[in-house]
């Protein structure tokens, strides 16, 4: 039974903007990130990576490297124990350790340029790097499969000979299509027959990277007792624990992961690349701690970017502005191994619309590129780029108001999502209305006076948000403050947002709840920070733990006063007797009496939330294009989002602004530019062009608060949906500016110049 | 194994005289982090494109991954650890906290050092000037909005 709430809107702590608890360490350089870990006897490891996008490994000779001065050990895939085969549900994630071990150290074949082949541990980083050059690898190069069209061609080169594809339930060998699935409702043919206008467009997208500034890193010790201790920049220390244990085939209890600060992740730091390798090297180096930091080229070439691919959307509407049918094909690049975000993309593509007759086909396709990983609302931005442009095109052709059309066809409570799930309480309509009533939408776009071409675009986006498992422990201190241990990696302010929820219940200021993230051995299981789940689910656990603490403290007040605990009330930081107004004690004073009323007090709460409140966002983008150079400048941007309840509005705005910036980069510049040989040509920050401060205006935020009934304070996850609308908002603005619809990402200057020349 | 050649360097870091023997290939970034033990200066790309390793050398804002440790003999370096004094945080550090100008925090040391370099020379920069100056520092979390506002706040109060 799912508990529901009728949250109020005004709070003492929730909704305020205190200075975050971990802020001081981060502005002084004191905070310890993964790269900052130092241990006695520390040695370094570097990785030898494939120069080929696709090749068979004929032999690996590590003997020269092993003999090199300063080298402790060399590791290859042969050092992994025989992996468990097939897909394994770890309770947190479905993993395939056979493929994961092959991904972090290649076996038999290399499947993308940069694929790790061997690793060397040595006395320092430079010695390790030099020693990797002494390893001799003999390759038999194979033709690279560079995109979904090449992968699906009749005579395609096959990446994974042992892959049996699941094509609509049928086992298909010798294929690069790992999975084809379908969601279908209503009568598609009848729906299109009822339509007065049918628009079909095909979109292409390139892989993009999350672009976190901190490279992947790990430090590990595999000691003589068989215990692995690791430090790694990650969104989920339990995921590092479970994946490391799984790949090394040791019990999870034999792995301890210490959290370190994480320098950005956006979904990309949910997969493990280094910790098991560092552990193997440590064991081979007599238990020395081994530290690894990926260089930036490797982060681009060999971590987990977001899928590119191809999307076809066909939508039908009647003359009175109702969608009758929609059919979509989503072909996503999984990278070298199956498992793209196409499943989530399919869930999201119709998230903003009530469509009576629909079909979605999803294709998960392997190509010779790094294995894709999550990137902020994984799969949804690509889907939004496609469907929101089709909607925009329909409105353009019919001359309809773009917000009114969306309102007329909006998803609301009870609407069936494209995969069949019924929506609970959602705030799309409120978000669209807030956009319509915004200063930005009501201010007409001023014509340009400098010869540039101006346009305005609007687009919406959806992300379902996640729940899952979280644990929070609270420990009452004698001075009336509370220490809070929680298991969620803090990727951008969640210590504060979780502590604030505990503080709200406890009647304390945010500063009096001290949040800590202890090791995997010191807190109950908590799922990875991802799916926009942390402030929602770990915050829920904090609320529950705080209520338990208050109940225990009420018992102590009852002991103090010799009354029954049922007669103790707690309000506004004070415990009092409902029968005797003379009996009253503050939280702080009672905390000082805990010792003589029964001893120290702590509470714990673990939750496993099956559902979450969905997130919706609508963005308005004004931009201008230089017709001489094709360069696009965003000149005004407004992001409107239903956030449920903003626990710390500054950090909610931060999520929205950061998502808008990433989305504009994805829309206008960012791409894995793949050369003929299958390699990424632009694997530095110089050539992989992420937005700088000079490329962006201020991002205006409008927070809509439609309380989520599944959370005591009405919280919805806010971190991911901000990335869905910017791609189509920018594309629709470009169409408005130049009169041409841009179907291929990124909408870079060259493409704009080509479109203008047509 | 034979010990590699080392270069003798005398420098000042955050006001403290320091003396090192550094390998000739070692970057200033690694010298600061691994030899001086100041890990507030961050590694992001090692090719001068992200600004996470920004330090101040004699009043110049520099990507420390592009400078060799052996090159800074006789020069004076300021890192993020040198911004606060015994009297408290630098106004930029305080403003970054108050304006929520950081999320993950990995780029923050570089932004703070770079922003100080701007305000030390131009106390009242325009928004455009701030954006231009900070364009060598990448932030992937914030969209720059709150960083620019934090710098503006300090500029306005100077």
- In the block, tokens 């090449």 appear at A150
Nearest chain A alpha carbon to B30: A125
Of B89, B96, B142, the CB nearest to A658: B142
Q: B108 and B67: one domain? A: no
Residue A353 has pLDDT above 70, yes or no: yes
Of B50, B135, B149, the CB nearest to A213: B50
CATH class of A379-465+613-757: alpha beta
Its CATH architecture, for the domain A23-31+468-609, is 2-Layer Sandwich (3.30)
Q: What is the pLDDT of residues A103-150, one digit of tens each?
A: 999 999 999 999 999 999 999 999 999 999 999 999 999 999 999 999
Q: B75 and B108: one domain? A: no
pLDDT-derived band at A256, boundaries 50, 70, 90: very high
- Is B132 near chain A, with CB under 8 Å? yes
Residue A677 has pLDDT above 60, yes or no: yes
Nearest to A359 by CA among A406, A314, A319, A394: A314
Of B1, B39, B102, the CB nearest to A27: B102
Of A26, A266, A699, the CB nearest to B105: A26
Q: B104 and A650 in contact by Cβ < 8 A?
A: no
Residue A95 has pLDDT above 90, yes or no: no
Contacts B96 to A, Cβ<8 Å: 23, 27
Q: What is the pLDDT of residues A484-506, one digit of tens each?
A: 999 999 998 999 999 999 999 99
CA–CA dist A696, A634 (Å, integer): 6
Q: What is the pLDDT of residues A507-563, one digit of tens each?
A: 999 999 999 999 999 999 999 999 999 999 999 999 999 999 999 999 999 999 999
CATH number for the domain that contains residue B122: 1.10.150.120
Q: Calculate the alpha carbon distances from B121 to A58, A261, B60, B133, B136 in Å.
A: 60, 33, 11, 12, 17
Could you give the 3-state DSSP secondary structure of residue B7?
strand
On whether residue B53 sits in a domain, the answer given is yes
Nearest to A445 by CA among A613, A623, A678: A623
Of B50, B96, B146, the CB nearest to A654: B146
Sign for the pseudo-dihedral over CA of A52, A53, A58, A60? positive
pLDDT given for residue A1 in this prediction: 60
Q: Mean of the pLDDT values across residues B23-45?
A: 97
Q: B46 and B95: one domain? A: no
Token reading at A311:
């999307």
- Is B156 near chain A, with CB under 8 Å? no
Nearest to A285 by CA among A74, A141, A446, A134: A74
On whether residue B50 sits in a domain, the answer given is yes
Helices (H), A233-323: 237-248, 275-284, 296-302
CA angle A270, A272, A275 (to 5 degrees): 135
CA–CA dist A126, A539 (Å, integer): 44
pLDDT given for residue A159 in this prediction: 98
Could you give the 3-state DSSP secondary structure of residue A640?
strand
Q: B47 and A684 in contact by Cβ < 8 A?
A: yes
On whether residue B1 sits in a domain, the answer given is no
| Per-window interface: B 95-124 vs A, CB < 8 A | 96-100, 102-109, 112
CATH number for the domain that contains residue B76: 3.10.20.30
Q: B100 and A20 in contact by Cβ < 8 A?
A: yes
Contact A200, A313 (CB under 8 A): yes
Within chain A, all domains assigned CATH 3.30.365.10 are found at: 23-31+468-609, 379-465+613-757
Domain count, chain B: 2
Contact A500, A647 (CB under 8 A): yes
Q: B109 and B147: one domain? A: yes
Query: Parallel, antiparallel, or unpaired: how do β-strands A699-704 and A632-642 relate?
Result: parallel
Q: What is the pLDDT of residues A610-659, one digit of tens each?
A: 989 999 999 999 999 999 999 999 999 999 999 999 999 999 999 999 99
Kindly indicate whether the ipTM for this predicted assembly is greater than 0.90, answering yes or no: yes
Q: Mean of the pLDDT values across residues A18-35?
A: 98
Q: What is the pLDDT of residues B78-93, one digit of tens each?
A: 999 999 999 999 999 9
Contacts A293 to B, Cβ<8 Å: 43
Q: B76 and B113: one domain? A: no
Nearest chain B alpha carbon to A123: B1
Calculated CA dihedral for residues A380, A381, A387, A388, nearest 10 degrees = 130
CA–CA dist A77, A275 (Å, integer): 14
Residue ending a domain, among B82, B107, B127, is B82
Contacts A698 to B, Cβ<8 Å: 145, 148-149
CA–CA dist B6, B19 (Å, integer): 12
Start-to-end CA distance of chain B, whole Å, equals 56
Q: B63 and B105: one domain? A: no
Residue B1 has pLDDT above 60, yes or no: no
Which class for A102: exposed (0-12), middle (13-18), buried (19 or more C-beta within 10 A)? buried
On whether residue B71 sits in a domain, the answer given is yes
Contacts A692 to B, Cβ<8 Å: 131, 134-138, 144
Contacts B80 to A, Cβ<8 Å: 27-29
- Non-local (6+) Cβ contacts of A284 within 8 A are A72, A73, A74, A75, A79, A121
The whole domain housing B64 covers 7-82
Residue ending a domain, among B82, B116, B131, is B82
Residue ending a domain, among B57, B82, B107, is B82
Nearest chain B alpha carbon to A266: B141
pLDDT given for residue B158 in this prediction: 76
CA–CA dist A283, A220 (Å, integer): 9
Q: What is the pLDDT of residues A715-729, one digit of tens each?
A: 999 999 999 999 999
DSSP label at A156? P
Of A24, A493, A660, the CB nearest to B143: A660
Residue A687 has pLDDT above 70, yes or no: yes
Q: A693 and B49 in contact by Cβ < 8 A?
A: no
Contact A606, A470 (CB under 8 A): yes
């Amino acid at each position: 039974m799912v508990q529901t709430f009728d949250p109020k809107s005004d709070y003492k702590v929730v909704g305020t903007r205190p200075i975050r608890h971990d802020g001081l360490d981060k502005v002084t350089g004191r905070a310890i990130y993964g790269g900052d870990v130092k241990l006695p006897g520390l040695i370094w490891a570097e990785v030898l990576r494939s120069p080929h996008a696709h090749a068979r490994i004929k032999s690996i000779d590590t003997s020269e490297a092993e003999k090199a001065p300063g080298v402790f050990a060399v590791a290859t895939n042969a050092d992994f124990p025989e992996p468990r085969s097939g897909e394994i549900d770890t309770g947190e994630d479905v993993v395939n350790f056979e493929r994961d071990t092959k991904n972090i150290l290649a076996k038999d074949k290399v499947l993308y340029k940069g694929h790790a082949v061997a690793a060397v541990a040595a006395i320092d980083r430079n010695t390790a790097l030099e020693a990797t050059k002494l390893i001799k690898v003999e390759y038999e190069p194979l033709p690279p499969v560079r995109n979904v069209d090449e992968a699906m061609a009749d005579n395609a080169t096959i990446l994974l000979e042992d892959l049996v594809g699941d094509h609509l339930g049928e086992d298909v060998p010798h294929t690069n299509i790992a999975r084809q699935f379908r969601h279908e409702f209503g009568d598609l043919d009848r729906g299109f027959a009822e339509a007065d206008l049918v628009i079909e467009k095909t979109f292409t997208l390139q892989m993009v990277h999350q672009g976190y500034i901190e490279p992947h890193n790990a430090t590990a010790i595999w000691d003589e007792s068989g215990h692995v201790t690791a430090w790694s920049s990650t969104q989920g220390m339990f995921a590092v624990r479970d994946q490391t244990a799984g790949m090394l085939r040791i019990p999870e209890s034999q792995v301890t992961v210490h959290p370190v600060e994480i320098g950005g992740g956006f979904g990309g730091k949910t997969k493990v690349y280094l910790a098991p390798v560092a552990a193997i090297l440590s064991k081979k180096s007599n238990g020395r701690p081994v530290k690894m930091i990926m260089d930036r080229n490797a982060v681009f070439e060999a971590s987990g970017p977001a899928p590119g691919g191809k999307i076809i959307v066909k939508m039908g509407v009647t003359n009175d502005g109702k969608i009758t049918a929609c059919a979509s094909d989503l072909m996503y690049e999984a990278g070298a191994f199956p498992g793209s975000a196409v499943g989530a993309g399919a869930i999201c593509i119709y998230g903003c619309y009530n469509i009576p007759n629909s079909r979605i086909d999803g294709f998960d396709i392997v190509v010779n590129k790094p294995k894709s990983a999550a990137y902020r609302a994984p799969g949804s931005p690509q889907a939004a780029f496609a469907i929101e442009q089709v909607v925009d095109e329909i409105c353009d052709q019919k001359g309809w108001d773009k917000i009114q059309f969306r309102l007329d066809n909006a998803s609301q409570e009870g609407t069936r999502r494209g995969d069949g799930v019924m929506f609970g309480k959602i705030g799309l309509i409120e978000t669209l209305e807030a956009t319509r009533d915004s200063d930005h939408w009501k201010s007409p776009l001023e014509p340009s006076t400098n010869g540039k071409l101006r346009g305005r675009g609007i687009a919406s986006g959806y992300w379902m948000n996640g729940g899952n498992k979280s644990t929070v422990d609270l420990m009452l201190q004698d001075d009336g403050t509370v220490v809070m241990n929680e298991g969620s990696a803090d990727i951008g302010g969640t210590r504060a947002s979780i502590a604030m929820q505990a503080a709200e219940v406890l009647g304390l200021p945010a500063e009096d709840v001290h949040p800590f993230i202890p090791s995997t051995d010191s807190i109950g299981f908590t799922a990875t920070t991802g799916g926009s789940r942390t402030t929602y689910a770990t915050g829920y656990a904090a609320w529950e733990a705080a209520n338990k603490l208050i109940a225990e403290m009420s018992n102590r007040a009852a002991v103090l006063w010799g009354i029954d605990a049922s007669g103790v009330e707690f309000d506004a930081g004070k415990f009092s007797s409902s029968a005797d107004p003379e009996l009253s004690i503050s939280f702080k004073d009672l905390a000082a009496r805990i010792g003589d009323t029964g001893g120290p007090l702590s509470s714990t709460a673990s939750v496993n939330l099956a559902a979450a409140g969905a997130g919706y966002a609508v963005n308005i983008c004004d931009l201008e294009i230089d017709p001489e150079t094709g360069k696009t400048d965003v000149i005004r941007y407004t992001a409107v989002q239903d956030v449920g309840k903003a626990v710390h509005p500054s950090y909610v705005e931060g999520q929205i602004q950061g998502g808008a910036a990433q989305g504009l980069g994805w829309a206008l510049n960012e791409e894995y530019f793949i050369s003929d040989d299958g390699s990424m040509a632009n694997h530095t920050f110089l050539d992989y062009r992420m937005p700088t401060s000079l490329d962006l205006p201020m991002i205006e935020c409008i927070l809509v608060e439609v309380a989520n009934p599944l959370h005591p304070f009405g919280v919805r996850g806010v971190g991911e949906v901000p990335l869905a609308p910017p791609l189509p908002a920018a594309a629709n603005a470009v169409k408005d500016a130049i009169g041409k619809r841009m179907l291929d990402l990124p909408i870079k200057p060259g493409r704009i110049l080509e479109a203008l020349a047509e | 194994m034979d010990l590699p050649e080392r270069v003798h360097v005398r420098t000042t870091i955050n006001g403290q005289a320091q003396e090192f023997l550094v390998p000739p290939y070692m970057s200033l970034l690694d010298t600061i982090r691994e030899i001086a033990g100041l890990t507030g200066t961050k590694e992001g790309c090692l090719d001068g494109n992200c600004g996470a390793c920004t330090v101040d050398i004699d009043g110049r804002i520099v990507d420390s991954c592009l400078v060799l440790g052996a090159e800074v003999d006789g020069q004076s370096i300021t890192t993020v650890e040198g911004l606060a004094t015994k009297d408290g945080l630098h106004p930029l550090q305080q403003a970054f906290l108050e304006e929520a100008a950081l999320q993950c925090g990995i780029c923050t040391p570089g932004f703070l050092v770079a922003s100080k370099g701007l305000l030390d020379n131009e106390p009242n920069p325009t928004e455009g000037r701030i954006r231009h100056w900070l364009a060598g520092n990448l932030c992937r979390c914030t969209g720059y909005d709150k960083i620019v506002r934090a710098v503006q706040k300090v500029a306005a109060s100077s």
